[in-house]
């Protein structure tokens, strides 16, 4: 079949990206985005396009030849509740919501790959194009899985990518094993007896106890976990009901913990409960700990990482392909799919001058579009090689 002209495809993807950028939608509200994606996939002539998978998710299916293997390529569609600082003509038209993580770019790249694979073929088997909702919540992948993704649209392995500010455009990185961390959230409520600021001894105020607890929580990583395990425990909020001349009877400590193994996450929670209980007792107040798990750790399959590096050689200059030095303590909802099948998540440069992800001045770099789409195409053709 005829090959698509790369420059024409790049122009098309740029137009789609700008359209998506101008109409950002928050997690599970991606109605316009999902309709846009589904309409494009139908236009490309996919064998099946299913909407409403796990809320606002879309799955496109493309079959060629007689191969019985299936691979999935995944993009995320949601935006963030951030007010955009931009003068671009395609800036957000949805006040208070913006594509500050580049999911508009990820969606455009996967659409570009779908168009090329539908038009050119070059593989034997089934490609599933998964457009997931609510990545930022850490809920969208699970919603699709709970809606029967694996039963209705089975696949053997999955690939995904994310743009990376600070890395030059045209550069590619990934690594085997741990790539991105789990995210846990916690809230510790201390209860005592508030009272007059001039008479602390007549109550059991909670602020000094809370300050001690914030300090003691630092020993989870420094003294209670193995130095070989990567972990972060960050207290992000300390809120009391005190006022200028009244000591608080209530203090709330909120925060975020990151780790790369379920055992480490469990140990952080166990140690947190011991320290909160012990500190509260020492200060004559009570402590109540709530601990929730939002994102699971992302671990890349070693064999599929090797395959991704081979595919990358078709797309990137050899000097621009690198093994990522260390895992990142950010989190990614792609990890949920890896409970069911092996997979590989990779990073593409968004430019050294790019604003950070989740920054109000961030914008996806359109010069990266062709690299991402080409990587999707290359990995699909390699994993579903004709005559394999
Ligand atoms: Zn994000
Ligand atoms: Zn993201």
User: Domain containing 368 — which CATH number?
Assistant: 3.40.630.10
Instruction: Give the residue from 295, 328, 347 where a domain finishes.
Output: 295
Please give the pLDDT value at position 388: 58
Helix (H/G/I), strand (E/B), else coil: 70: strand
Ligand 1 geometric centre to CA of 135 (Å): 7
Per-residue model confidence (pLDDT) at position 3: 86
**Around Cβ 87, how many Cβ atoms within 10 Å?**
6
**Same domain for 107 and 211?**
no
Quick one: 186 and 125 in the same domain? no
Distance 173 CA to ligand 2 centre (A): 16
Distance 158 CA to ligand 1 centre (A): 20
If asked whether residues 273 and 248 sit together in one domain, one would say: yes
Domain-located, residue 388 = no
Give the Å distance between the CA of 136 and the centre of ligand 1. Answer: 5
Give the containing element (helix H, strand E) for 322.
strand 321-323
Centroid of ligand 2 to alpha carbon of 221 (angstroms): 27
Both 272 and 322 in one domain: the answer is no
Ligand closest to 80 (CA) is 1
Distance 147 CA to ligand 1 centre (A): 23
For the chain (388 residues), the mean pLDDT of every run of 10, in chain order, is 89 98 98 98 98 98 97 98 97 98 98 98 98 96 98 98 98 97 97 96 96 98 96 97 97 97 96 98 98 96 98 98 92 96 98 97 98 98 87
Q: How many domains does the chain have?
A: 2
Within a domain: 314: yes
Ligand closest to Cα of 81 equals 1
**299 alpha carbon – ligand 2 mean position (Å):** 17
Residue ending a domain, choose from 295, 320, 346 = 295
For residues 235 and 90, membership in a common domain is answered with: no
Residue 291 domain-assigned (yes or no)? yes
Distance of CA 288 to the CA centre of its chain: 30
Whose CA is closest to 373, among 105, 192, 95, 151?
Answer: 105
Query: What pLDDT sits at residue 325?
Result: 86
Residues 161 and 28 in one domain: yes
pLDDT at 386: 83
Same domain for 345 and 370, yes or no, is yes
Residue 101 Cα to ligand 1 midpoint, Å, equals 5
Query: Which residue is associated with the tokens 């709970």?
Result: 146
Indicate if 233 and 243 belong to the same structural domain: yes
Residue 16 falls within a domain, yes or no?
yes
Burial (Cβ within 10 Å: 0-12, 13-18, ≥19) of residue 222: exposed
Same domain for 256 and 334, yes or no, is: no
> Ligand 1 center to residue 330 CA distance, Å?
9
The residues, any chain, with a CB within 8 Å of residue 28's CB and separated by 6 or more, are 55, 56, 78, 133, 134, 137, 139, 140, 143
Other Cβ atoms less than 10 A from the Cβ of 235: the count is 18
User: Does some domain include residue 79?
Assistant: yes
- Does any domain span residue 1? no
The number of the ligand nearest the C-alpha atom of 136 reads 1
Same domain, 104 and 157: yes
Encode burial over 182-220: b for 16+ CB neighbours within 10 A, e otherwise: bbbebebbbebebbeeeeeeebbbbbebbeebbebbeeb
Ligand nearest to the CA of 160: 2
For residue 347, which ligand has an atom nearest its CA? Answer: 2
- Going from the Cα of 189 to the center of ligand 1, the distance in angstroms, rounded, reads 29
pTM assigned to the model: 0.91
3-state secondary structure 24-38: CCECCCCHHHHHHHH
- Full domain range(s) for residue 372: 6-180+297-383
Question: Cα(136) to centroid of ligand 2, in Å?
Answer: 7
The verdict on 54 and 169 lying in the same domain is: yes
Q: Confirm whether 378 is domain-assigned.
A: yes
Ligand nearest to the CA of 163: 2
Residue 98 Cα to ligand 2 midpoint, Å, equals 12
**Domain-located, residue 143:** yes
**SS3 of residue 160 by DSSP:** strand
Q: Calculate how far, in angstroms, residue 103's C-alpha sits from the geometric centre of ligand 2.
A: 6
The residues near 104 (Cβ < 8 Å, ≥ 6 apart) are: 17, 20, 21, 24, 79, 364
Find the 341 Cα to ligand 1 centroid distance in Å: 23
Query: Can you give the pLDDT at residue 61?
Result: 98
Radius of gyration of the chain from Cα atoms?
A: 24
* Distance in Å, CA 138 to ligand 2 centroid: 11
Last residue of a domain, one of 295, 322, 353: 295
Q: Which residue has the tokens 């779908």?
A: 114
CATH number, domain containing residue 251: 3.30.70.360
Residue 133 tokens, joined? 């909702």
The alpha carbon of 281 and the centre of ligand 2 are apart by a number of angstroms equal to 42
142 and 42 in one domain? Answer: yes
């Amino acid at each position: 079949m005829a090959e698509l002209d790369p420059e024409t495809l790049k122009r098309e993807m740029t137009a789609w990206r700008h359209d998506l950028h101008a109409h950002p939608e928050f997690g599970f509200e991606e109605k316009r985005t999902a309709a846009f994606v589904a309409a494009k996939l139908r236009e490309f002539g996919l064998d099946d396009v299913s909407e409403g998978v796990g809320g606002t998710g879309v799955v496109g299916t493309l079959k060629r030849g007689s191969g019985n293997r299936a691979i999935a390529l995944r993009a995320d569609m949601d935006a963030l509740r951030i007010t955009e600082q931009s003068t671009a003509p395609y800036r957000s038209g949805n006040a208070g919501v913006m594509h500050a993580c580049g999911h508009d770019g990820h969606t455009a790249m996967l659409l570009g790959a779908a168009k090329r694979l539908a038009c050119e073929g070059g593989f034997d088997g089934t490609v599933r194009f998964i457009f997931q909702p609510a990545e930022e919540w850490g809920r969208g992948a699970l919603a699709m899985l709970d809606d029967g993704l694996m039963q209705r649209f089975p696949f053997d392995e999955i690939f995904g990518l994310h743009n990376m500010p600070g890395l030059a455009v045209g550069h590619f990185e990934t690594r085997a094993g741990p790539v991105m961390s789990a995210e846990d959230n916690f809230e510790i409520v201390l209860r005592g007896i508030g009272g007059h600021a001039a008479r602390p001894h007549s109550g059991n105020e909670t602020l000094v106890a809370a300050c001690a607890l914030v300090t003691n929580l630092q020993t989870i990583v420094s003294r209670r976990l193995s130095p070989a395990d990567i972990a972060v425990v960050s207290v992000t909020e300390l809120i009391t009901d005190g006022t200028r001349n009244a000591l608080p009877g209530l203090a709330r400590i909120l925060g975020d913990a990151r780790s790369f193994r379920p055992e480490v996450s469990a140990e952080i929670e166990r140690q947190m409960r011991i320290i909160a209980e012990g500190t509260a007792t020492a200060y004559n107040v009570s402590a109540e700990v709530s601990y929730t798990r939002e994102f699971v750790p992302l671990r890349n399959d070693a064999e599929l990482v090797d395959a991704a590096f081979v595919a990358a050689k078709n797309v990137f200059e050899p000097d621009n392909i690198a093994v990522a030095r260390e895992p990142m303590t950010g989190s990614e909802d792609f990890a949920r799919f890896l409970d069911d099948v092996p997979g590989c998540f990779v990073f593409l440069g968004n430019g050294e001058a790019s604003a950070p992800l989740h920054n109000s001045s961030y914008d996806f770099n359109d010069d990266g579009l062709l690299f991402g789409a080409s990587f999707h195409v290359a990995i699909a053709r390699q994993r579903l090689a004709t005559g394999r």
